[in-house]
Amino acid sequence: MLRTFAALNSKGGVGKTTLLANLGGLLADMGARTLLVDADPQPSLTKYYDIPYEAPQGLVEVITSGTVTHQAISHTAVANLDLIRSNDGEAKLQHWLFDRADRRVRLARALNNPYVHDHYDIVLIDTQGAIGPLQTAAAFAADTLISPLPPDTPSVREFRSGTLRVLQRLESDTDEPRAQLAPIRAVICRFDYSRDAKSLLSELRNEFSEGDRVTILETVIPNAIAYKDAFTARVPVHTANRIGGSRYPSAYEVMHRLVWELQPDLYGYFAGRLKGDPQEVFGGAAQARGARDAAVPTPAA
């Protein structure tokens, strides 16, 4: 069954594109047929990987025609990883959508077509760090919302008062038919294992517990140069950083754990289409250890 994830956060620069590019890279490497959709007018996801085949069309045609055809499918240099590129340099889609009665469901309907169902297992939609009609359309197209969340006070404040409030408002907009959004999975990213970051994470875990609309994922993405280097080298980070440091687990481990948490039926699948026992490969819970340490309240200084 097709799964659709959209990365959303009302704050810019939190790590949405990095996260989706790397999730897409690993999912494809595990054998899942993966489609990236770049719904940010600044085409960062489009530029992340090399594109050996650039399709004549992109997101503009998908949204305006209301459907996806092969004409809009570009191929990235990663096998199994395709892309609907962002070709809306002047950001006209926001206005175009705003004037349409079906603005909320336009992207959902375009993606929910036989071409997409026949060719893909996973769709990952990237958005711009703000809220507007295009982000709303991406949110309503997803069955899971992923929100990268750096554990620093401004980002956490913006997550609570910006992202979450806007999403709630979307659901109760009196000008629109009532509609429920998908659950929100917040991914702690750029975690530096500092005392402040651990205490913020602990607060967040207490605030949003299992079963809520908002869940804080167990897997935490470290603040590590490997993620920047992979961006520069235009490769999925799991292929570039396989050995962890003394403080940080490897990107190979982090990205696997993240995929398994988001897509549990892939548990035990590894990059290169390998299968194995995660406990044996990664030991007990090296990555979760960081998260569990972080969940213990920090003693007062």
| Neighbouring residues of 243: CB distance < 8 A, sequence distance ≥ 6 | 250
Cα 85–chain centre separation: 16
Q: Which is nearer to ligand ATP, 95 or 228 (CB)?
A: 228
Q: What are phi and psi of 54, to 5 degrees?
A: -100, 120
Sign of the dihedral defined by the CA atoms of residues 225, 227, 232, 235, in that order: positive
Q: CB of 16: closest distance to Mg ion in angstroms? A: 5
Q: How far is the CB of 23 from ligand ATP (least distance, A)?
A: 12
Residue entry with tokens 């999403």: 167
If the CB atoms of residues 44 and 69 are measured against Mg ion, the closer one turns out to be 44
For the CB of residue 190, give the shortest distance to ligand ATP in the complex, in Å. Answer: 5
Among 18, 34, 46, 136, binds ligand ATP (CB under 6 A): 18
What's the CA gap between 146 and 288, in Å, rounded? 19
Q: Which of residues 121-140 bind ligand ATP (CB under 6 A)?
A: 129
Which of ligand ATP, Mg ion, none binds 87 (CB below 5-8 Å, type-dependent)? none
| Dihedral sign (CA 100, 104, 110, 113) | negative
Q: Which is nearer to ligand ATP, 70 or 289 (CB)?
A: 289
Among the listed ranges 13-21, 134-142, 168-176, 269-277, the one in contact with ligand ATP (CB under 6 A) is: 13-21
Name residue 15's amino acid.
G
Q: Segment 27-66, which members bind Mg ion (CB under 5 A)?
A: 44
What is the Cβ-side half-sphere exposure of residue 110, based on CA atoms within 13 angstroms?
27
| Interacting residue with ligand ATP among 5, 49, 159, 227 (CB under 6 A) | 227
**Looking at beta carbons only, is 228 or 247 nearer to ligand ATP?**
228
Alpha-carbon distances of 287 from 78, 217, 220, 248, 260, rounded to whole Å = 26, 12, 7, 8, 13
Binding interface with ligand ATP (CB under 6 A) = 12-18, 40, 44, 129, 189-190, 221, 223-224, 227-228, 231
